[in-house]
Amino acid sequence: EVQLVESGGGLVQPGRSLKLSCAASGFTFSDYNMAWVRQAPKKGLEWVATIIYDGSRTYYRDSVKGRFTISRDNAKSTLYLQMDSLRSEDTATYYCATYNNYYFDYWGQGVMVTVSS
């Protein structure tokens, strides 16, 4: 059974940093592209970043480019999202998901990030 378990969320002040983790199990992690998708409270879904299966390429939405870094450790079957210079508009539930060609087929339960002073 595919399992994705996010951690590392919480309350953080604007301008500070936070690092999210996503522990994967039940599939061969190193074979899959992975992504982060977020959802602001009572809002829709917004793609954040994608990393290719071997870590060779990464893609970001414009609003997080230069502030967020997606990475992975295939030996530990873990995906990361380093978030720097956080803004109030980054407040959201962050989901990690497997990215299969062009769709997200498995999702974690999500982790809440609140950016507020």
Residues found near other proteins in the complex (CB under 8 A): 35, 44-47, 50, 59, 61-62, 95, 100-110
Question: Which candidate, 34, 45, 4, 38, places its Cα nearest to that of 22?
Answer: 4
Q: Residue 16 or residue 109: which is nearer to other proteins going by CB?
A: 109
Question: Closest distance between other proteins and the C-beta of residue 105, in Å?
Answer: 5
Distance separating alpha carbons of residues 59 and 37, to the nearest angstrom: 12
Q: Residue 14 or residue 63: which is nearer to other proteins going by CB?
A: 63
Distance of CA 53 to the CA centre of its chain: 14
Question: Closest distance between other proteins and the C-beta of residue 48, in Å?
Answer: 9
Q: Residue 75 or residue 93: which is nearer to other proteins going by CB?
A: 93
